[in-house]
A = this chain, B = another copy of it.
Amino acid sequence: MIVTCVHVSVKPENVDDFIKASTINHENSVKEPGNLRFDLLQLAENGTRFLLYEAYESEEAAAAHKDTSHYKTWRETVAPYMAEDRKGVRYNIVTPASKAGWGK
């Protein structure tokens, strides 16, 4: 099981657009069979910065996400909203150690 934290900085005028597009992406991503979490968070001290917390049960499931139409639509839609390049940070999961612990 792996987690990718995607750090996003959005142009101030596109914050609402980004939330709208990312909410659609969230709604579809959590339905993927290998998805464990797909949380969208907004930095408390700076509303133009977001964190996508994406947990998948395997490398294959994480890779499959990037092949979905909802991911591709999101990527194209949000491209003009980015204030800087997104940065993905990969983590290995220590706990919950079992898939059941992730509520799946």
List the B residue with the shortest CB-CB distance to A97: B23
In the complex, A101→B38 CA distance in Å? Answer: 10
Q: What's the dominant secondary structure at chain A's contact region?
A: strand
In the complex, A2→B27 CA distance in Å? Answer: 19
Interface residues on A, range: 20 to 34
In the complex, A41→B89 CA distance in Å? Answer: 11
Q: A41 touching B91 by the CB < 8 A rule?
A: yes
Q: B39 touching A95 by the CB < 8 A rule?
A: yes
Binding site for B on A (CB under 8 A): 2-3, 5, 19, 22-23, 26-27, 30, 37-45, 50-51, 53, 55, 89-96, 101, 103
* Cross-chain pairs A/B with CB under 8 angstroms, 9 sampled: A3-B39, A5-B5, A39-B93, A41-B94, A42-B91, A42-B92, A44-B90, A50-B94, A53-B53
